[in-house]
Structure 1
Amino acid sequence: MLALGIVLVLVGAALLVAEAHAPAGVLGVGGGLSLAGGAALAIAAAGGGLAIVLAVAVGAGAVAGLWLAVGTRKALATRALRSSAGREALSGRLGVVRNWRDGGGQVLVEGALWRARQSWMDEDAVLAEGDPVVVERVSGLTLAVRKAEDWEVPC
């Protein structure tokens, strides 16, 4: 009985570590239950009274549940963050026109030179070299840009 309790505690700890690396919730719940049950079995087999067994089981379960709740909250918070790398991060960024003619050209955004075309919402605006632009969206390797408003350009 003592050996089974120790094995359950070790399995529970391993499941909680696995949950930290692959958050899904199932591993964390299973790990918490295994940890609490294993602790209860180990203490009961060692001759501990019912009050001690219940206290340890509830304490271990509470710690595992708290750890799972904090981890889940952090995982959900990171999902809500805006991407800071790749094409998705370019939308809304400021750039500068390097050369432009016939509704298309090249713009410098975040230190890289991109092929660009004028956004359909801003087709009437005339762009020239040196004009500030805002990236509206990314299509493949081409940016759709519009002329930046005065309030969007830093001083």
Structure 2
Amino acid sequence: MVILPLYRQLTLNYPTYYIGQTNSLGYIQPVNSSSDTLTKNNATWNFVPGLANANCVSCESKTNSGYYLRHQGYRVQLNQNDNTDLFKADATFCPKLGLADTTALSFASFNDPTHYLRNRNYELRIEPQAGDIGYKNDASFQIAAPWIQ
């Protein structure tokens, strides 16, 4: 599998918050240049071709090789790839033009394509697409250079 460059994803509505994980649960969390190395690593992802569909992406942890963001019970968490079809589908997200801003990206769940990756109360979840601006902002992300190479 070809690994794409490392990236960090910052939220459109909280521009200093990035997709990260704490205790294997996905969150958006504040990260800046003075954050410690672990925090920066936890907010840096290998974007690889989607485990279930190479036209989409999967987000592999920089700090834990073989661990991916995946949804389970609509909550995003970091789990080790168990190589099942369900895991691969849960860990695959299809980028779309940002729901709130076309300079951003939104990520539809591969196996539940009407649900998008979004933050709600700083937790990463997948939830059904909604038309309100709050949802659109919560489901739109800018891709930036990695914190740590």
Q: Specify which structure has the bigger relative contact order, considering alpha-carbon pairs within 8 angstroms and separated by 6 or more residues.
A: 2
Bigger-Rg structure (1/2): 1
**Structure with a larger share of its residues in helix:** 1
TM-score (norm: length of structure 2): 0.21
TM-score (norm: length of structure 1): 0.20
**Structure with a larger share of its residues in strand:** 2
